[in-house]
A and B are shown apart, each in its own frame.
Chain A
């Protein structure tokens, strides 16, 4: 076969494979991605029985028996929501640290799904307060 034709075929095959991979990647990521809501969005749109991924900063925490009670604040607005959580609490969880937790509205509070509480790797980012003046 003519070498230039061979090269063209190889290039077409490679580009098709790349296109297929890219399409699958875009489709999978958009279908697998879940919306992250802030405290203020949650207060506006939450419906009982529906699950939401709440993202924000922990502003207070305390234990009530075996239940962890904490408030998650909207990083941009001065609004926060209370969360009742039973389950594994990651070591980095603390006031001032950012978290993600899957919650459902139940009465006046939001109940966290056990095992859904995650925090950011503590070795990398710093709170603004610790930055140099």
Chain B
């Protein structure tokens, strides 16, 4: 089947190149048959890539180690769900996933727009097929997922233990869905620039894909943060790592885009800005893939980069940037705004300011992410930069974003009046002020964290502003229809999904950033080395190491600790944290040693999550020195025994080996249980962190709001919206 898989990739490339040429020829000559053929090429690629991806999935599920990537990233003992997810843990598999998702979403976009934007669509099709060709070519030439070996190993290396986490099964496909979907508005924007069809039509047909990309990328980022918090054993959820930033940057830009297109739709303004923003977002999605897959920023951190892949990506990004800048410059006259900003105190101005802040935030993150490369280019020496360098910029900008999230929904379009200010701002401002007074009065130590205090107040302002908008909407609806409040609320949201979905997102963002401010400013953290019976104090809690646990299994050796948490003498919770050691396939570590000294480890945290406070613990039993003399002795004994087996008659060798393996497993079991019978001091990381749950809740609210906004509106309402948009455009043109 590997040959079939490779043939599918080559066929996919051929179809993509044909479709690209057919679309361009159809667009230039006006022959619809060629345009339709180009579009159908994308459907064909989606079919071919689905088949290719399924072949690879089946190879992983069947543990077919003749495939090199199956042998390197899976094993027979890897649980089935993780075998399926192991496909995208590899370079080759993840690039195939990219093409697969790109062809799938592109097909959907081209199908839905097949009777609209007829002039733009052929160019957009050609651009999307260009992306397909690029990534398919990468999988064929540099990262072939279907490469095989004539001598497959009996067992694979297994999936990296740190990736054996539920969120890691969903996080990569979500991020890739976001990246690939962002190429759709990029392609339509470029198509609009090529054809000169620069009204809002291209925005209307691709807005939903931009929103879906925003949602998928946002969920992906949140799941990645959750994985980091619960799996990586350091207690944080965000480290300003280049690959984290790679997903955050396009998300910030598409957030700005989703706001600024409203101004173009309503007022015909910001055309240059919108088209530039979505072109930058699409390019940033490719930069994100480049950062994640090439390892260009790995030289100071770790892994080997692939120069061939780097050059290919740099060429693609250069082509995207040059064509974007060139076309925007060429069309600058047609992209002039149809109207001007009436006042700096208007919703348009707030949206514009919010856009500038989001773009500034992206620029800061971009600069600091690439700083190691920039510093090397400028000074000749690579420099390391950590999270403290991000904070002076990110924190004030995040504060402004939260405040504007509250102001945006309640400020009037065009020009604000004093009456509007009083009517809309009095309640949210009062809530923010009350929050400030309550926090300064009741919460000790909060006054020393000015930025956190500001975030709590701005967050309260935003929540109050959004709540006020919902309340006013429900009140108005009840006055008209006499519906019960819950029914009125549901009807209100159903009929104005984009608006109230957006408000929900703003509320979620406020909750999320309150969580970030609280957990990063008021966290208590310490390391403690303890033996059973000993305890450590942190953040007003006493954590006692009650007993050690240990269990050997075929997959891994698990050491653990049971911890009793008390506060003021009262029992709060009991936590169990474990440290798993996965065996290595490296025979040089010894028959027994490869189980204890593989370095392939996985921590499981002991977590007590609450609405106001998380108690987070992890044990590190990486140091197995107290067992080392037994391990070394065991290795020597078994090495001798194995040598003796080799000299035995061939017919007896297997049975003798099986007996030896039984003895080995008994020894490993005994050694593992020594952690219970003769426990040695082990290191714990203990963290008491407030409001972390708010972060996850905020993220869920944001995603829920995004879903509301994304959900298709009923046909009648859609007709109404189109008529309203048409009437608005007509009125503008007549004016």
Q: Which residues of A come within 8 Å of B, CB atoms?
A: 3, 7, 14, 18, 21-22, 24-26, 28-30, 32-36, 53, 55, 57, 61-66, 68, 75, 87-95, 97-100, 114-115, 118-128, 130-133
Contacts and interface: CB of A to CB of B under 8 A. Distances in A.
26 contacts: A7-B340, A25-B363, A25-B368, A30-B383, A33-B371, A33-B389, A62-B597, A63-B622, A65-B623, A92-B232, A94-B598, A94-B599, A97-B303, A98-B302, A119-B301, A123-B89, A123-B163, A123-B172, A125-B304, A125-B305, A126-B91, A126-B295, A126-B304, A128-B306, A132-B91, A132-B92
A7 B368 CA distance: 32
**Which 4 pairs show the lowest CB-CB distances between chains A and B?**
A98-B302, A33-B383, A94-B599, A125-B303
Contacts of B504: none
Contact of B304 (A91, A94, A128): A128
B298 interface: yes
A61 B162 contact: no
Nearest to A94: B599
Interface of B: 68-69, 72-73, 89-92, 143-145, 147, 149, 160-163, 168, 172, 231-234, 241, 243-244, 292-293, 295, 298-306, 340, 356, 360, 363-364, 367-368, 371-372, 375, 381-385, 388-389, 392-393, 527, 529, 597-603, 620, 622-625, 628, 681, 683, 685
A107 B384 CA distance: 26
Nearest to A99: B302
Contact of B625 (A63, A125, A130): A63
Given A35-B381, A89-B622, A132-B92, A94 B367 contact: no
A46 to B, nearest CB: 15
Contact of A14 (B295, B356, B364): B356
B340 to A, nearest CB: 7
Nearest to A130: B72
A3 B602 CA distance: 63
Contact of B384 (A21, A53, A124): A53
A120 B302 contact: yes
Nearest to A7: B340
Given A91-B232, A99-B302, A132-B145, A33 B385 contact: yes
A98 B72 contact: no
B91 A131 contact: yes
B384 A100 contact: yes
Given A28-B389, A55-B301, A63-B624, A91 B603 contact: yes
Contacts of B392: 28
B364 A25 contact: yes
Contact of A126 (B90, B147, B367, B385): B90
A32 to B, nearest CB: 4
Given A29-B385, A36-B300, A132-B145, 8 more contacts: A25-B367, A33-B375, A34-B384, A35-B381, A55-B384, A88-B685, A91-B231, A132-B143
B623 A126 contact: no
Nearest to B306: A131
B527 A88 contact: yes
A41 to B, nearest CB: 9
A28 B600 CA distance: 38
Given A25-B393, A122-B163, A132-B147, A91 B388 contact: no
Nearest to A21: B360
A128 B241 CA distance: 21
A94 B162 CA distance: 12
A124 B298 CA distance: 10
A98 B371 contact: no
Nearest to A75: B299
B683 to A, nearest CB: 7
Nearest to A89: B622
Given A25-B364, A66-B623, A127 B303 contact: yes
Contacts of A99: 302
Contacts of B529: 66
B92 A124 contact: no
A120 B145 contact: no
B332 to A, nearest CB: 15
A63 B299 CA distance: 27
B269 to A, nearest CB: 13
Nearest to B383: A33
A36 B381 CA distance: 8
Contacts of B371: 29, 33
Contacts of A24: 393
B95 to A, nearest CB: 11
